[in-house]
Amino acid sequence: MFKKLFSKQKNNVQMPDANGEDTIFSPLNGKVVSLSQVPDPTFSQKMMGDGVAIMPSDGTVVSPVIGEIIQVFPTKHAIGIKTVNGVEVLIHIGLETVNLNGEGFTAFVKQGDKVAKGEKLISFDLDIINEKASSTITPIVITNGELVKSLKNEENGDVIAGKSLILTIST
């Protein structure tokens, strides 16, 4: 099964670190901001977990890691991925986007799919989110923080999807 996955995109293969370290790359093009700047207390107060947020410049979400899709929300506004070391990453596209009931979102993966870093997961219409949701800001949080020994924010400013390192996590 893994041979098939890794043979597709050999350049994106990132094997797990022997020291239990995960590197999380940006799932979006845009600008990284602190979770404290997210205008929603669920994220800004880290109730869902620690991480960062991105102000997207376009409507494509790619996998920030090699891993497995553990959840694609029915409204396609959020997706969960488990890394090879067991860290669970939630990408929540915009705020109050669940109320769009999937309008403007297209998913390219489903639960159980194995993904490579940089693989396209979801596309969304940035104009629809700007018009109908409260914000386009996209939190990227670690939802199973009990596994995390340390989390380091690596990037500030502009980021490139699948290329810019945003978090380093030790488990």
Q: Does residue 92 have an active-site annotation?
A: yes
Q: In what order do the strands lie in the sheet with 138-142?
A: 114-115, 67-72, 78-83, 88-92, 138-142, 50-56, 30-34, 157-159
Which pair of tokens denotes residue 12?
């994106």
- Rounded-to-integer distance, Cα 20 and Cα 7, Å: 24
CA distance 91 to 142: 9
Task: Check 76, 77, 92, 114 and give the catalytic one.
Answer: 92
Nearest to 9 by CA among 89, 85, 114, 110: 114
For residues 75 and 57, is the Cβ–Cβ distance under 8 A? no
Q: Would you name the residues annotated as active-site residues?
A: 92
